[in-house]
């Protein structure tokens, strides 16, 4: 499973993406966050506050408690600031 990071999450984690073994079912992005937090101090810092965290599973925006299913790609990022 590919995990992608954008904006300050990418800078704080120190990676744009990484590959992890799929989580045991039933998994959610929130459960994945728990696994990611333990990977490095950068990860722990990036995922310290989930209130401003957004995610996408297989390129679809979804809540942190959405089912991960057989997801091949999960992305984490802050709220959008385009325009």
Partner 1 sequence: MRRVLVTSAPFDSGAELARLAVPGAGGTGSFIGTVRETGAQGAPLAALHLEHYPHVTEAAMNHLADEAWARFGLLGVTIIHRVGRLTPGTPIVLAAAAAAHRGPALEAVRFLADQLKTAIPLWKAEEHQDGRKDWLVPTADDEAAARHWLRATSG
Contacting positions for partner 1 (CB under 8 A) = 4, 6-8, 10, 52, 56, 59, 75, 77-83
Q: How far is the CB of 61 from partner 1 (least distance, A)?
A: 8
Q: Smaller CB distance to partner 1: residue 34 or 73?
A: 73
Asked if residues 43 and 9 have their Cβ atoms less than 8 Å apart, the reply is no
CB of 46 to partner 1, least distance (A): 12
Name residue 62's beta-bridge partners. 55
Nearest-approach distance from CB 26 to partner 1, in angstroms: 25
């Amino acid at each position: 499973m590919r995990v992608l990071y954008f904006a300050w999450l990418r800078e704080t984690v120190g990676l744009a993406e990484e590959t992890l073994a799929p989580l045991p079912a039933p998994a959610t992005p929130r459960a994945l966050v728990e696994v990611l937090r333990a990977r490095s101090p950068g990860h722990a810092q990036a995922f310290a506050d989930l209130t401003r965290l957004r995610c996408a599973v297989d390129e679809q925006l979804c809540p942190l408690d959405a089912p991960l299913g057989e997801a091949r790609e999960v992305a984490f990022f802050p709220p959008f600031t385009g325009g």
